[in-house]
Structure 1
């Protein structure tokens, strides 16, 4: 979870706990020895939350810092991808924006007669595993069938195409930054 998301969760929790107790900003300010204007700016996001402020706020609200910062629900863990349909294929992005590993992880469904990576060349490596069906991988002058349960990894400096072979195919793939730009033009991660 990014620092911005954590701060937003903390801001919401501080305000919610204060309101649930029926306290005004002045009432909480008196209990945590901060000014009401400082608390207002913290709750509205106009001021960053400093640790030396968070400790007395948590104490005044009868909670702990851990409880203020722990994620709400499962959104910090579960990714709920929305399908993006392109001509002959559907894409689900399974990684978060600005993934710390510098990669994009995606599931793709490719229909017959749809070519992914029309003989592109770019720096890096590509990896995919076949979830269902069979992929026809054209790698330079070679044609390789990659079947369900198998995976492929190759240098993307070799011209390559990925096609469905004798029916639809689903793959799980990992792109580095160069691969994302080459294979997913115009794609943007959700904010």
Structure 2
């Protein structure tokens, strides 16, 4: 915190930090706080002054106390403590904290042995995926190609190409680096 920071400046900075650290959009926080999204945007950007009645609603929307919004950010804890996510016969463990919005995130993924049949049609989305196989044999369907990826091999591909990955004869463990679009496809229904 800088000596010249005003309360308004600190709250704006903390509001944005807490929102992005939690992976929330302006719309998410605005709905939770019962505040118009344009008002929240103007509060964060400094184009509107903060009113006292905003503090409790914003704090509750972010799951913190009003003191957390008023004070300086605590030093960051470097440990990653997010829970595993299970979806579509994948278990995904986050290996990176929520960084700046739009950044890349790393996951350890376990592909369950019974994830063997690709969907029709294959998913397509903006971005790139990068996968490194730790154990097992990974089946990667990439456009018209049906590839087997062995332990110690890495693949990188544009996700604008129809794609899917699954297991060949047992579970597969891999490390994946995903952008925000890939996270939405793999983590959120």
Q: TM bucket by the smaller chain?
A: 0.5 to 0.7
In 2 relative to 1, CA 87–179 (structure 1 residues): closer, same or farther, beyond 3 Å?
closer
Q: Which moved more, 1:110-119 or 1:162-171?
A: 110-119
User: What residue number does 1:143 align with?
Assistant: 146
User: What residue number does 2:78 align with?
Assistant: 77
Determine the C-alpha separation between the residues in 1 that align with 2:123 and 2:79.
Answer: 33
Give, in angstroms, the shift of residue 98 of structure 1: 3.8
In 2 relative to 1, CA 80–142 (structure 1 residues): closer, same or farther, beyond 3 Å?
same
In 2 relative to 1, CA 99–44 (structure 1 residues): closer, same or farther, beyond 3 Å?
closer
In 2 relative to 1, CA 127–121 (structure 1 residues): closer, same or farther, beyond 3 Å?
same
Is there any run of 5+ residues in structure 2 with no aligned partner, and where?
1-12, 18-65
Q: Does 1:159 align with 2:162?
A: yes
More strand by share: 1
Determine the C-alpha separation between the residues in 2 that align with 1:182 and 1:123.
Answer: 10
The RMSD of aligned alpha carbons is 3.1
Determine the C-alpha separation between the residues in 2 that align with 1:116 and 1:102.
Answer: 30
Give, in angstroms, the shift of residue 85 of structure 1: 2.8
Determine the C-alpha separation between the residues in 2 that align with 1:111 and 1:46.
Answer: 42
Give, in angstroms, the shift of residue 89 of structure 1: 2.4
In 2 relative to 1, CA 99–170 (structure 1 residues): closer, same or farther, beyond 3 Å?
farther
Give, in angstroms, the shift of residue 178 of structure 1: 1.3
Q: Does 1:125 align with 2:128?
A: yes
CA contact (8 A) 1:106 1:173 kept: yes
Which of 168, 172, 178 aligns to 1:175? It is 178
In 2 relative to 1, CA 177–134 (structure 1 residues): closer, same or farther, beyond 3 Å?
same
User: What residue number does 1:102 align with?
Assistant: 103
User: What residue number does 2:22 align with?
Assistant: none
Look at both structures and tell me which one has the larger radius of gyration over its CA atoms: 1
The normalised TM-score by structure 1 is 0.56
The normalised TM-score by structure 2 is 0.56
Give, in angstroms, the shift of residue 148 of structure 1: 0.8
